[in-house]
Each structure stands twice: as C-alpha cells, then as structure tokens.
C-alpha cells in the first residue's frame, strides 16, 4: 500500500504539523492501524478508504490510541488524495468519520484547503489545582472549558503561551485527551495564539491542532466580537491558519506540503 507524509498548515516543508496518510485498498483491523500509527510515530496517522458513493471513510490514530477528531491529519488526507489522483482535484472531498460525522474539504484558492468541521463550544470546567505551577508560567490562569477533545485554559498573554513549560506528567491528569492553552495574539494580524499538549495521547506537544480551533473559534468569537480570525500555534515548528465561525460549523483554512512518499510492505 502507498503512503505519504504531509506537513499540514504549512506553506513550506518541515513546518506545520506532519501526518502520515495511508489510503487503504483493503479492509484493515484497528489493531493493525494502531501498529502502523505507532511505527510512523507522528502525532496522528490518517487512514482513508474509498466508498461506493464517492465519499471516503476516515479515521485517525496517535501512536497510542484512536482519536475522535483530528484537523491537521484531515487536511493532510485531502491533500494526499488529490495529489495521488485518488480524488478529483476540483471537487470537494467528503469524509465519513466514526464519531465526528461528515467532514468536508474544499480547495480554496490556488494552494489552500478549507475544512468544514463542527464547532464545539466548551462546557464549564474547574480550574486544575496548581495550574500555573504545572504549566510553568507566572501569570493568572483561567478556564475556558472542556470538550471531549481537550481542556482549554486561557493565559494572560501570548508571551506566557510561548514560555509555557508544563510538567507533562501532572498535566496528563487533567483531561483524557489533551490540554490547550490560549491567549490574545501579540503580532499584527494575529487574533489569538495557542499551544496543545497531549502526553496522555502519546503526543507531548502537537505542532498545529485543527480540532482545538473548533473550540477556540466560538470562544474567541464571544471575546472579540468577530467570526473571522487569523490564528497561530506557537509550537517549535509553528503553524498559521485562517479560522471562520459559521454558526454551528468552523472553517479551518491552510496550506499543506508533501514531504515523503513510499510503500507499506505488509
């Protein structure tokens, strides 16, 4: 089977968030998918399989578990299917997922991909004990809320987000999937920034996290009074994406670059 590695939310190689993409040409057990994801050892590996109705089944595995939603690996999967000639480049790709319903990817402009995801407003949550100490920051920490994908916390400034050095062992106790920290942007044209830590999912820090922005979009819309944003994730690799809130849906827009192609010898 063919595979490729795609840097998502990136305009150049070795930036953004890498994801392996495996377009399946046969049925495969979840145990085998998990083993392949562990072998790639990226934050997520996306598995696609064509359906008779023209749509594609899609699921995502970290090195240690399946996850219900992953933004960057969805973008990577669409990019890979178009580039490998497995889907028509001018047409939207409709992915069917196990827990997140239908996700649609559409070419936007010359190089960008727009993803249509569900908006997931955060539910109230308690502030974890010793939050500032565990995050390694010297600033107030407040709770945005929790979803199935993450606990979202707000820090005082973008610089606090940059300097965050969490105790990953303690942080892993806060939420079963991951923790997002966010703050207003401090650069011209950037509305908000974030970072995402998921040691409990085998991902100490995710370079760019599309699914986190499904919660960040409605939150920052309520704070800033707008529905269109430029967001930046302040990981070492870094990534930037346009975010648009459309009622109960979020559009995530960015570029992707293929860096590797090969064969799985199974």
**Which pair of structure tokens corresponds to residue 18?**
């890498």
The 8 Å CB, 24+ separation contacts for 186-190 are 186/157, 186/158, 186/159, 187/158, 187/232, 189/230, 190/230, 190/231, 190/232, 190/240
**Which pair of structure tokens corresponds to residue 14?**
């070795």
Q: Which of 39, 44, 99, 170 is catalytic?
A: 44
**Which pair of structure tokens corresponds to residue 257?**
């670059």
Residue 130 burial class via C-beta count within 10 angstroms: exposed 0-12, middle 13-18, buried 19 and up: exposed
Residue 44 appears among annotated catalytic residues: yes
Q: What are phi and psi of 200, to 5 degrees?
A: -70, -15
- Other beta carbons within 10 angstroms of residue 41's beta carbon come to 11
Pairing mode, if any, of strands 239-246 and 203-206?
A: unpaired
Q: How far is CA 265 from the centre of its chain?
A: 28
* Alpha-helical regions (H) of the chain: 30-40, 71-83, 131-135, 158-163, 168-171, 213-224
Write out the catalytic residue numbers. Answer: 44
């Amino acid at each position: 089977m063919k595979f490729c590695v795609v840097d998502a939310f990136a305009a150049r190689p070795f930036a953004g968030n890498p994801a392996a993409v495996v377009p399946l040409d046969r049925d495969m057990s979840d145990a085998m998918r998990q083993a392949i994801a562990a072998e790639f050892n990226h934050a997520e590996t996306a598995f696609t399989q064509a359906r008779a109705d023209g749509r594609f089944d899609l699921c995502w595995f970290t090195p240690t578990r399946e996850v219900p939603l992953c933004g960057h690996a969805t973008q990577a999967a669409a990019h890979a299917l178009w580039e490998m000639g497995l889907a028509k480049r001018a047409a939207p790709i409709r992915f069917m997922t196990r827990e997140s319903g239908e996700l649609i990817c559409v070419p936007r402009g010359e190089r960008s991909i727009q993803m249509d995801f569900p908006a997931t407003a955060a539910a109230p949550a308690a502030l974890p004990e010793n939050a500032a100490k565990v995050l390694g920051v010297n600033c107030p920490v407040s709770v945005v809320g929790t979803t199935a994908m993450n606990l979202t916390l707000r820090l005082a400034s973008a610089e606090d987000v940059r300097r965050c050095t969490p105790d990953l062992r303690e942080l892993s106790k806060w939420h079963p999937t991951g923790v997002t920290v966010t703050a207003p942007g401090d650069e011209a044209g950037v509305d908000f920034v974030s970072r995402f830590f998921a040691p409990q999912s085998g991902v100490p820090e995710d370079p760019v996290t599309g699914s986190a922005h499904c919660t960040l979009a409605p939150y920052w819309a309520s704070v800033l009074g707008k529905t269109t944003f430029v967001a930046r994730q302040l990981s070492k690799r870094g990534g930037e994406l346009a975010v648009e809130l459309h009622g109960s849906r979020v559009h995530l827009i960015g570029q992707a670059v293929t860096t590797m192609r090969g064969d799985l010898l199974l």
